[in-house]
Amino acid sequence: MQSEDPEIEKLLNEIIELTGESRIEAIHKALDERRQRLALQTVAPRSEARLLAFLEDEIWPQVSPELLGKLIPKEEEDAILGFGDLGL
């Protein structure tokens, strides 16, 4: 099975070289991963709405009104995320 598109051949050969998979395995995995990403895109809007509803109903009511909408200073944000002077 040979593609008529040299760019496809180049990409496929790079994947095969990196993974050690056969051509069929590499194509199968690529198609399956793309299918999964596309399926997630159709679910995302519902998940987004559920997340927003959760934040509005469960989390934000627990935050004191004077803190809502207030930006966290960069130093505090870095500390929460675990960043130090040298990074993580």
Which are the contacts of 4, defined by CB distance < 8 A and separation ≥ 6?
none
The one-character DSSP state at 69 is: T
The answer to whether residue 43 scores a pLDDT higher than 80 is no
Q: What are 84's strand-pairing partners?
A: 87
pLDDT value of position 87: 64
Under the banding of pLDDT at 50, 70 and 90, the label for residue 47 is confident
Under the banding of pLDDT at 50, 70 and 90, the label for residue 39 is confident
Under the banding of pLDDT at 50, 70 and 90, the label for residue 15 is very high
d(CA 59, CA 53): 10
pLDDT value of position 45: 67
